[in-house]
Amino acid sequence: MAKGLPPLSLYIHIPWCVQKCPYCDFNSHALKGEVPHQEYVEHLLKDLDDSLHLVQGRQLSTIFIGGGTPSLLSSQAMQQLMDGVRQRIPLSEGIEVTMEANPGTVEAERFSGYQQAGINRISIGVQSFDAQKLKRLGRIHGPEEAERAAQLATGLKLRSFNLDLMHGLPDQSIEQALDDLRQAIALTPPHLSWYQLTIEPNTLFASRPPKLPDDDDLWDIFEQGDRLLRDAGYEQYETSAYAKPGYRCEHNLNYWRFGDYLGIGCGAHGKITLADGNIMRTVKTRHPKGYMRGEYLDRQFMVADEDKAFEFFMNRFRLLEPCPRQDFVDLTGLAEQRVRPALDNAIRAGYLQETTEHWQITAKGKLFLNSLLEAFLPETE
């Protein structure tokens, strides 16, 4: 790895979906006609060419292909994409390459083609095993397809696979939420993302809010679900991620540890540490129309010193592992003194514990994460 620079990941965004879900605020576009497979891949690789100067001698440690629905891309297009990436940037040995997929039947049949292209981890967007709840969420698959996709992923002997599951769904009882979780655990995924449905602005659910479980029920769902997962051998390592030992998502760990990542594709974000220690963020053109005209970069800007501490801790304190104090200095370029008052307050409030080497978020800190993070927000005049 290039001296002094953090590990480098690559995020690739595929913007199309069959239809838009009412809770989704991601940059995704309902498909009109056929996906422009080859044309989009060619643009992705040109976008990557424009970003190569930011690699600065590093290898890629992880790749994540997200969306939209990346599994709408044909396996030939995926092969073309992965070959193009390999020709341009060296990959680390044993690299984790994740692709998000919908459990729809057609896509499941393409899994082995994706695997040949170099995908070795699949993240399957199950969300629920309850047919009515899936319909309410605007999902186009049924419970059987979710099971079949998980079984397929198991049979392919991939490096790993993840099931995405939501709780706190419209009119969901505690028992229904736990039943979903039991069904997910029964499919023995090495990794489970288990998160609460939140109503995001500018979504269909925001304009017509459904009735969601109250805070007491949500707490019961979390407490009992957490116990189910632990009993099944999963360890929580991040706010909404559980894994069997050895199967944590390396790509997400790099985000949360404040590593670097290139972002290519519609609306993709990137974070790059430059040789002089400055941190640059890049945002690519959101809409496929502009992007496919070759207008890739929407904006790029340097992260101001006063924002670096908040950005670092916002990522780092999602993880339950101890945070090396030296990482703060190395990755932000700031002295610890700058955040000393905020740290002391967090320690006094019982949100953090400190040793000579590390900071460790406490159970209380996990519960009041927003209050903990607010302390690191830059002061406004």
Domain limits of the chain? 8-254, 323-381
The predicted pLDDT at position 381 comes to: 40
pTM of the model: 0.94
pLDDT at 2 (0 to 100): 45
Alpha carbons 33 and 69: distance in angstroms, whole number: 15
Query: What are the angstrom distances between the C-alpha of 364 and each of 206, 251, 340, 367?
Result: 30, 27, 20, 5
Whole-number Å distance between alpha carbons of 50 and 60: 16
Tokens standing for residue 102? 């919908």
Which residues lie closer than 8 Å to 34 by C-beta, 6 or more apart?
Answer: none
The matching CATH number, chosen from 3.30.1490.20, 3.20.20.70, 3.40.50.300, 3.30.565.10, for 8-254 is 3.20.20.70
Instruction: Region of 202 please: left (phi>0), alpha (psi -120 to 50) or beta.
Output: left
Cβ count within 10 A of residue 201: 8
pLDDT string in tens for the chain (381-residue length): 345 899 999 999 999 887 777 777 777 777 666 788 899 999 999 999 999 999 999 999 999 999 988 988 889 999 999 999 999 999 999 999 999 998 875 566 688 899 999 999 999 999 999 999 999 888 888 899 989 889 988 988 899 999 999 999 999 999 999 999 999 999 999 999 999 998 888 888 888 888 999 999 999 999 999 999 999 999 999 999 999 999 999 999 999 999 999 999 999 999 999 999 999 999 999 999 999 999 999 999 999 999 999 999 999 999 999 999 999 999 999 999 999 999 999 999 999 999 999 999 999 999 899 999 999 998 754
Helix axes 174-186, 215-231, angle to 10 degrees: 20
Any idea what DSSP says for residue 137?
T
Instruction: State the CB neighbour count (10 A cutoff) for residue 316.
Output: 19
